[in-house]
A = this chain, B = another copy of it.
Amino acid sequence: MAPATVTIASGATWQEVAADRQRHRDESIAAVRPPVPEIRPEDVPVSTIAIPEKLLTAREVQITSLDVPDLAKRVASGEWSTTTVVNAFLRRAGIAQKLTNCLTELLPKRALARAAELDRYLADNGKPIGPLHGVPFSVKEHIGIKDEDINASFVSWVGRVSKEDALVVQCLEEAGAVVFARTTQPQTLMHIETSNNLYGVTVNPHNTTLTAGGSTGGEGALIALRGSLLGIGTDIGGSIRAPAANNGIFGYKPTTMRMPTAGWSIAMGGAESILGSVGPLSTSLEGLRLFAQTVVGRRPWLRQPSLVAMDWRDPAQFFPDRKIRVGVIRNDGVVRPHPPILRAIDEFVTKLKSHPNIEIVDWKPWRHDLAWSVIAKLYYPDGGKEIKEIVESCGEPWRPLSKFMLHENPHVEPLTIETLWDAVVAREEYRNKYAQLWNETAAGRADGRPLDVILCPATPSVAPKLDTSRYWGYTAQWNLLDYPGIIFPTADFVGAGGPDAAAREAPYAYPDGYEPLSPSDAYFRDQWAEHGVEGYVGAPISLQLVARRYDDEKLFKAVQILLETAGLPTAVPA
């Protein structure tokens, strides 16, 4: 692609830059053949999940209804060519864009050229080029694609071009996967929703009055609509997990420095007191695992030496006796989750408890309010100065949740070297304390075995109303601790159960005269009071499982066992 020419540097206004980016996106969709059906904005219903199937051919539906490993098998066996598969996903992704506004562009030319190469390879060699041969994947915009614009949603950065693919993209493509779509993210990348001045707002396909979450919100919406089965996101406070949870798909935030970050574009380069992770979102747990196994299998630390050179272990080796000790957090002591979330935890725990292999323990959250103050300060050691300059230099307006994080956040202040060190010491003290508490769970046990994992809400609410995702604690907690986390859907939705839906939540309702735990808690209580079941109807209900730092593979096996034990699917039904 030619680089963007309508840029702030070339004298355009922010509105002109945004219009040009949208034109570019629309042209990339218009290039898809057969053409992506038109959908007028006024025709988009509250629930869009069922729409793509009505607009696609039977074969396209069949292809896009598979899971990642099945799709790879069908391509490897020659049942479908990679070209056929890529075309199906280009079409379905184009539809997803028209329903939820989740794309920054499609990459039909590049993807189809690569697909042709892969088809030739398979024909010539009789075997796939790698484990992901023919699997299309999507990617959050700020993860670079060679020769394409990379703006990280900053209007003033439009015109920057990546010299090469981000390393994670290289790793996937080396294994035969095909990048075909780029997706939206919020202004500053630091909302857990997706709203920016280039593309507007990405909404939730299950209920378009709700957010898709963020910052990897484009992926969340796209994958929920099966416009992609596998996408790459990033997470420094919940940015993979919030959209996975909001959209009812699977998401995995790895321990930092296990997956390659080289080639992403972020502000505050050189800040490293809190690190972000690159990780996958997918329609299945197996999609996440294949991503991790494939990427780590490429030994990316040889190309990005800041990564930890830790091989991907086979999750099958963990829990050979399938016995698991699960700590449970229902309420972090800062914000009480909404009734559907509390109900989901209790229902899940009830199913697990009945099984003799699963031991359930209450985990008492240790000062999660302190955790938030520690991480929030370290997000912006310069007090947000650099990001403020980037945004304000071009006149683009502040989106509400950027203000929430940067302007209304009491923990953000410009640090000196000395106060930065103090904040890092506070971070380490918190991490050490949590490790100590975890170790103490082994005390007095004959088997000397501590907790294996913690089950907790993904967020205090199902997908929130737009611009109301004003609490990160349930996800950022694990970024501070650098624990890996996996989001899984419970296969339940707000309002499921028809007219009796509200009754299902009633036992979990806020008690009369409820005293909020914090101002954030009052805010969330008020959201529930205002919107209730009706307001969130259709929203998927998801949960989170976390494990100790570097226990990523163990976490995968734990999620699998717990879902199987509870009788829940490990893939989103098509």
Contact = CB atoms under 8 A, between A and B. Distances in A.
A305 B414 contact: no
Given A271-B421, A414-B417, A417-B414, A435 B305 contact: yes
Interface residues of A, number: 44
Interface string A381-405: 1100110000000000000000000
Given A305-B435, A432-B304, A416 B416 contact: yes
Given A305-B431, A306-B431, A431-B305, A272 B417 contact: no
Contacts of A414: 417
A373 to B, nearest CB: 16
Contacts of A432: 262, 304-305
A425 B381 CA distance: 16
Interface centre among A418, A425, A431, A439 (most CB of B within 10 A): A418
A423 B305 contact: no
A310 B257 CA distance: 13
A270 B301 contact: no
Interface centre among A302, A386, A414 (most CB of B within 10 A): A302
Contacts of A306: 428, 431
A304 B548 CA distance: 12
Nearest to A481: B305
A431 to B, nearest CB: 5
Contacts of A550: 301, 308-310
A549 interface: yes
A415 interface: yes
Q: State the oligomeric state as a number of copies.
A: 2
Interface string A411-448: 00011111011111100100110110011000000000
Interface string A307-320: 01110000000000
A449 to B, nearest CB: 12
A353 interface: no
Contacts of A439: 302-303
25 contacts: A269-B425, A271-B421, A271-B424, A272-B272, A272-B273, A272-B424, A301-B549, A301-B550, A302-B439, A302-B548, A304-B435, A305-B431, A305-B432, A305-B482, A305-B548, A306-B428, A306-B431, A308-B310, A309-B549, A309-B550, A310-B550, A381-B417, A382-B418, A385-B418, A420-B420
Given A270-B420, A305-B549, 9 more contacts: A269-B425, A302-B435, A302-B439, A303-B439, A304-B432, A308-B308, A308-B550, A309-B548, A309-B551
